[in-house]
Structure 1
């Protein structure tokens, strides 16, 4: 709706007015950027229910071995890096992976993780942006739910059947909820 578009434009202006935003790829990304991003990553891990599983060396190696497949969107205020979003560039898709900040700025998460990613994907001719799992707030920003798949090994054979049973029931419930969310909240026009 036009009201939602106005809201998004206002949110973007507000976030951009408070910080300097840089979208970095390839050789533009330095060890200083990785140092800052690692601090964001660790801060997010310590504040959320998750546990950071990547170490600092991982980010250096990512920059060294896959620099042209990395988009690092960074925000700074008063010369200090305060937030960043890590994306991986696929052949036809941009994959949002990690976000973190050491200073809260209204709407900055949406700007770095979603809007800058969309802008980058459009400029590169990428067909889609996969923003990652979780977050119903993504629907209002143009991201519809999509199924993701994972593989797990259940070491105790006695647990395999109960876990499989639960996952089958959960899969059906999730598919139904995804369908309902797309029907009810899609930001895109539906054809008749």
Structure 2
């Protein structure tokens, strides 16, 4: 009986040592699984962060693409509106430096700055600018013509050396009118 008990004790001790070995093995395996789980969790967080960054970058790209398309459309509409609009130029402006009736100070010169965006306000701005310049030009032209007529009528107008002193004021006016008509014919093919 004692030997039986010793055998049972030895068997139990063997089982206990097997269980301890199994427990240690399970503990090692559990630690491996825990490490794998932590790595997978970190990888998932990293991938989620990268995916969010990609979504943000994609959103910014779409926004930039939309802005670019809008700018291209605005530029195209601006270019088409500019290319289809006739150039408003008075035919006598080119000959003002050489005219006897108009002094050099008569020419108005300004730079027109064209903003790159919003073609509708730009077009209305250009139209209002052109209307204002046309009014100023008409006023100046009327004033200069009155002054020149007054000079011609008073006889205080000096005839240039290229023109004959014998010509009357009417001849000068008719000659200037002919030059003006020639300029109109050349520019506008009238």
State the TM bucket, normalised to the shorter chain. Answer: under 0.3
Answer 1 or 2: which has greater strand percent.
1
Which of the two has greater helix per residue?
A: 2
Length-normalised TM-score, structure 1? 0.22
Tell which structure's C-alpha radius of gyration is larger: 2
Scaled by the length of structure 2, the TM-score of the pair is 0.22
